[in-house]
Amino acid sequence: MERIVGIDLGTTNSLVAYLDDATPRVIADPATARVIVPSVVSFPGGEPIVGDEARALAPTTSATTIQSVKRFMGLGREHLSAADRQRYTFVEEGRGVLRFVVGERTYSPPEISALILKELKRRAEAALGGEVKKAVITVPAYFNDSQRQATKDAGRLAGLEVLRLVNEPTAAALAYGLDQKSEGTVAVYDFGGGTFDVSILKMERGIFEVKSTGGDTRLGGDDVDEAVASWLLTTAKVPAEVAERRDVQALARRAAEEAKCRLSDADATEVAMTLPDGTRLAQTLTRTACDALIAPIIARTLVPCRQALADAGLAAADVDAVVLVGGSTRIPLVRAEVRKLFGREPLCSIDPDQVVALGAGVQAGILGGRRKDMLLLDVVPLSLGIETMGGVMTRLIERNTTIPTSHTETFTTAVDNQTAVDLHVLQGEREIAKDCRSLARFAIPIEPATAGFPRVDVVFMIDANGILNVTARDVRTGRERSLDVKPSYGLTDEEVERMLEESIDFAEEDVAARLLAESRMEAATLVRQIERTLGESAAFLEAGEEDAIRAAMATLRGAAEGTDYTKIRDLAQALSDVSTPLGHRIMEASLKRALENKSAGGGSWA
Amino acid sequence: MTTNTQTALCLHCGKPAADQLVCSGCGPVAPATAEADFFAVFALPRRLTIDLADLERRFYALSRELHPDLFHDRAPAEQAASLRMTALVNRGYKTLKDPVARGLYWLDLHGEALGRDNERVPPALAARVFEVQEQLDELRAARKQGAAESETKAMTAIRAELRGDLDACDQRLARNFEHPDGTDALAETKKILSELHYVRTLLRDVDKELGAAWNG
């Protein structure tokens, strides 16, 4: 059986897990027995080092070490804060893709994340034996389309097929649901290193239905560290020109982070560091004083909580359980505020650092067919729309809509012989287009005709990963129109391909040989899938259909013996096309069966 | 359970489709609102009153059959069909479970749409909208000055009133749903939905403003 792993690609730490029989387990490095890989990549001599070693180097090599790369996934230059610019040097290439400058080279955030994913992949392969090629990766529920796409790109660059992106709070609920067999309404409060999420779910007989989600993708334990670090530098009267130096900031953040952890148990602690010139700084910080420093940060997490409750149409009292996820929920003030908001003691029986990875492992098991009793129904966190007349955002899909979902919009022309309609796709809750996140721009090609006569249906489909796909079809001719979608922030497919080709792993390998191997593998998978369909669903075949499918299969098999990978890909597409009507018929039957099978839901239908 | 006996024409190829979800000629119909019969998707009679617990059971049962997570290792055509059908089921569930969305969809099915010949907002409602907007302006102005205690209190009272209006509208809508046929009932549904729309928008603006107050 193919192995699918679940990965928590965190801001601070990353973990990999898998479903062992019915129990999810995190995978430890066989060499060190450690389960956590710090999400830190350092390039001390130009070559990347990932994890604990990179983290140890961070305070002294701030110029060649990237931490918290997740905060930069899917962003453009205009989204950077002053603190970001102070911390790293960036260049911006092409449309909006950020790159970190590290010595002589530059890296995009997905490339850095891919290095972390490769380390997790290596670890999983060492522990489990055999190659790992498929993964479920978790993302903050509040990640927008660009951030999700960047995560998927990172997976591809690491040599992983990302079968599914799962929202972190949902993954946590999955781990708890499996653990406690609980039912009812659950709020997941997920405060990690760099992101905050809250999700409200209904759990019933193995269905995990997300009712609403909210959050802030730029709010986390990092902000707590910054607050304490800047307190330390100010209180110790470090001159501004010294305090602003990157190496000093990195040292202060490390001191702050350590003090923060101690204050989870102690009432007071010493925040201490040594400046590069040897001066030692030490200040006593009480928990009360620390609470006052970080209270505004914690208060910011409560806004999305109230919004999520309102969106779910629930009051705090309707929530049956509150689950804490993420290392930052160890802060006593966080627990106190959550307790106050929901009026109940939050649950944290599963290690908050591991629960997301465990849930990702469960979802990997579900996709691998090992848990047929469980199903996740997640939502899109942000509304999706297009820019219309006067720079207004017109919403097509509302936030908190269950995914997958689609919206069809019909477009026509305003002037005679117009050959295209330009579209600008947006995501966000603001009413003015420029206040929303720009996702992509594209032109719908239209055949010249009298104004208002052409009609093109554009389908905006958000898949189960929360990622948008756009297709267009001419209503009169029924022809699909291909769209050249330009992502506003992020890599195009071609760029990811190019990076793959340039990456170290493939450097010595012949690109053509790799493409051939890939196309052969894809062809073999497709043939296997269709053989299975033919075997299981013979009853749905129409006269002559099986012969046509088998003929296409034989042609493909023949081509796969040869070395022309373009031909193999084309014939695979042809086989896929010829089997499409059969697929639709099978699904139609599934739908009817679901409707007729009145006991499927366990209750009796009226 | 009633069967829908209407013959639907496929949106894309124009040929009659066997049922409203799938066209054997060109694949599943990807319909705009009025073309997909959400009642048929859930095998429910075409009635405006819906048992929500029953609807949810049907939604879960359909999800367990059709969700893309169950098809990632199947042939591409099955994956694509699963994606499109799940999207349709999800859209149908969202539409039918919310009384307002259901009402609007109902108007759509009957060839009536909100926004057509309803430019005339009832005077009382218009007055209410202006009044609340004015109070919101006052609250914002007072906040800039630093002291907005009495304005916040007044706005909290308005919020409670609006909530009451919303509940009243919902109840009227539910009563009207019991007798949905006939032109009068349709016109009444339209009127209530239009009112609901205004009240919801106001409440959203008020919530936004008060939310800002809670969080300093």
Which of A436, A462, A492 corresponds to the end of one domain?
A: A492
In this structure, the number of other CB atoms found within 10 A of the CB of residue B187 comes to: 12
Q: Closest to A586 (Cβ–Cβ): which among B21, B42, B78? A: B78
Residue in the structure block whose two tokens are 């499996």:
A178
Q: Domain map of chain B by residue range?
A: 8-97, 123-214
**What is the value of pTM for the model shown?**
0.82
Q: Which residues from B are below 8 Å from A300, CB to CB?
A: 215
Give the per-residue pLDDT at A509: 56
Whether residues A142 and A73 share a domain: the answer is: yes
CATH of the domain spanning B8-97: 1.10.287.110
H/E element holding A234? helix A221-235
Domain check: are A39 and A144 in the same one?
Answer: yes
The count of domains in chain A is: 3
Q: Which of B65, B75, B83 comes nearest A530 by C-beta? A: B75
Cβ A600–B61 below 8 Å, yes or no? yes
A286 falls within a domain: no
The residues, any chain, with a CB within 8 Å of residue A568's CB and separated by 6 or more, are A516, A519, A520, A522, A523, A556, A559, A560, A562
pLDDT digits (tens, 9 = 90+) for A536-582: 888 888 888 889 999 999 999 999 888 888 899 889 988 988 888 88
Angle at A107 between CA A105 and CA A108, to 5 degrees: 155
Residue A220 lies in a domain: no
A477 and A431, same structural domain? yes
The pair of structure tokens assigned to A550 is 């088998």
Q: Are residues A364 and A389 in the same domain?
A: no
Q: Are residues A49 and A129 in the same domain?
A: yes
Contacts from A535-544 at CB under 8 Å and sequence distance 24+? Answer: A537/A582, A537/A586, A540/A582, A540/A585, A540/A586, A540/A589, A541/A582, A542/A581
Last residue of a domain, one of A492, A526, A557: A492
**Are both A402 and A461 inside the same structural domain?**
yes
Catalytic residue IDs of A = 8, 70, 168, 190
Shared domain check, A13 and A100: yes
What is the C-alpha separation between A204 and A193, in angstroms, rounded?
Answer: 31
- Is A586's Cβ below 8 Å from some Cβ in B? yes
Does A243 map to a domain?
no
Per DSSP (E only), the strands in A261-364 are 268-274, 280-286, 321-325
Q: Domain limits at A547?
A: 509-593
Q: A396 in a domain, yes or no?
A: yes
Same-domain status, A363 and A440:
no
CATH of the domain at A403: 2.60.34.10
Residues A425 and A544 in one domain: no
The pLDDT of residue B119 is 52
**A485/chain B closest Cα distance in angstroms:** 20
- Write out chain A residues lying below 8 Å of B26, CB-based: 478
With respect to residue A435, please indicate whether it lies within any of the assigned structural domains.
yes
* CATH number of the domain enclosing A524: 1.20.1270.10
Shared domain check, A158 and A69: yes
List, for chain B, all residue ranges whose pLDDT scores fall below the cut of 50: 1-34, 213-216
Structure confidence at residue A201 (pLDDT)? 95
d(CA A168, CA A215): 12
DSSP string, A291-312: HHHHHHHHHHHHHHHHHHHHHH
**Interface touch B60/A461, C-beta < 8 Å:** no
**Do A478 and A513 sit in the same domain of this protein?**
no
Q: Which residues of B touch A457 (CB under 8 A)?
A: 11-12, 30
Look at residues A492, A526, A543 and tell me which one is the last residue of a structural domain.
A492
Is the bond into B16 cis (omega within 30 degrees of 0)?
no
pLDDT along chain A (606 residues), means of 10: 89 94 89 93 89 86 87 88 86 76 90 96 92 95 92 94 95 84 88 92 92 91 92 91 88 92 91 90 91 94 92 92 92 95 92 95 91 91 89 90 93 86 89 89 87 88 92 84 76 75 56 77 86 85 89 90 88 88 81 61 32
Residue contact B83–A310, C-beta within 8 A = no
Interior/surface letters A318-350, b for 16+ CB within 10 angstroms, e for the rest: ebebbbbbbbbbbbebbbebbeebbeeebbbeb
Shared domain for A451 and A526, answered yes or no, is no
Please indicate, yes or no, if residue A599 is contained in any of the structural domains.
Answer: no
**What pLDDT, in 10s, does the model give residues A177-223?**
876 667 899 999 999 888 899 999 999 888 999 999 999 888 999 99
Q: Which residues of A touch B91 (CB under 8 A)?
A: 405-406
Q: Please, what is the end-to-end C-alpha distance for chain A in angstroms?
A: 42
